[in-house]
Structure 1
């Protein structure tokens, strides 16, 4: 009888630990050469890269997938264009500040952060143009590079937040109205290039 209770307790604890770990999607970003970037992706955004400054290519890996990202500055804005492994566009992100968000949206975001964290600091805000089913890729690209405020955009925040006496970095996604979509813990930056 005791062994069955212990076995049941063991499986319950194992399941709880597994489900807690599964909610943390750890992501690492590595800089790569242009030749290692998917060719289809470069062809898709090549006309937008004209006049771009500080163009860099990255490969991101996490527990669920691998993706590629081109980061650059154009027309005084910082862009991040993300693709899947096959070179299909996933989203375009623009680095923005608090004043660039509609006031109602920003108020809703702050209300969520105040409720969820005992302390927090916003480190980065990105305006995200995800690809939508049924919408042409060229339209998504055009909307992003015109920096349009549309109902289909999202806002991605990187914050340092304190919950239950623990301080972590979080990546939080909100819709265009400031409604919460998802949250995940974020790993610190990769410092593999630093030699000790």
Structure 2
């Protein structure tokens, strides 16, 4: 009886532990006009980036916050620059391919995916420059020079199969490929497409 109770206690602990690492992300992104984008964010973009193409503005609402995102193309790379509601820089992400990730880092990421999903497909891979203690100018400079730094993160959107079927997951890894965070995503919402 004591052994059975111990097994149940361990199972409950592991279940709660797994829940603490996984959050649902009810994210909805829709295109907005430049006039609806925070003025401070637009000023930061104008000060720190030149010669870019195809800039588009988005408002992103998820279960915990509202943020704004500017997506643009520069030097054949796609960038996503995320700001909070006040227009303060949160991070800059670059759409990359698996070959752009250092081999050891990518091997650790793939190891995590193999251990946690019976099947998976990577939909999107981004190199992330978070706003830690660096200045806004330094973050823009590092991101637009596409530097590989110890402060970088890798954000992966994957369709993964677990016990209950396929779901979309957004997974964050550090520069060395160590797992940081996972969130379950809803599929994108195309209700508010702006032409």
Q: TM-score, normalised by structure 1?
A: 0.85
- For the aligned residue pairs, the C-alpha RMSD in angstroms reads 1.7
SS of the equivalent of 1:40 reads: helix
The Cα of 1:53 is off from its aligned counterpart by: 1.3
Q: Distance in 2 between matches of 1:49 and 1:152?
A: 21
Q: Distance in 1 between matches of 2:157 and 2:28?
A: 15
What pairs with 1:107-118 in structure 2 (closer than 5 Å)? 107-118=107-118
Structure 1, unaligned stretches of length 5 or more? 1-15
Query: What is the match of residue 171 of structure 1?
Result: 170
The Cα of 1:81 is off from its aligned counterpart by: 0.2
Query: What is the match of residue 40 of structure 2?
Result: 40
8 Å CA contact 2:31, 2:192 repeated in 1: no
Query: What is the match of residue 62 of structure 1?
Result: 62
Q: Which deviations, in whole Å up to 9, do the C-alpha atoms of 1:20-51 show, x marking residues without a partner? A: 9x921211001000000000001011144432
Is residue 2:21 matched to residue 1:27? no
Query: What is the match of residue 50 of structure 1?
Result: 50
Query: What is the match of residue 155 of structure 1?
Result: 154
The Cα of 1:193 is off from its aligned counterpart by: 4.6
Q: Distance in 2 between matches of 1:73 and 1:187?
A: 26
Q: Which deviations, in whole Å up to 9, do the C-alpha atoms of 1:90-126 show, x marking residues without a partner? A: 0000000000000000000000000000000001100
Q: TM-score, normalised by structure 2?
A: 0.86
**After TM superposition, what 4+ stretches of structure 1 lie above 3 angstroms from structure 2?**
none
Query: What is the match of residue 143 of structure 2?
Result: 144
SS of the equivalent of 1:151 reads: coil
Query: What is the match of residue 90 of structure 1?
Result: 90
Q: Distance in 2 between matches of 1:87 and 1:159?
A: 29
SS of the equivalent of 2:104 reads: helix
Query: What is the match of residue 182 of structure 1?
Result: 181
Q: How many residues align?
A: 175
Q: Distance in 1 between matches of 2:42 and 2:29?
A: 19
Larger RCO (CA under 8 A, 6+ residues apart):
2
Structure 2, unaligned stretches of length 5 or more? 1-15
SS of the equivalent of 2:105 reads: helix
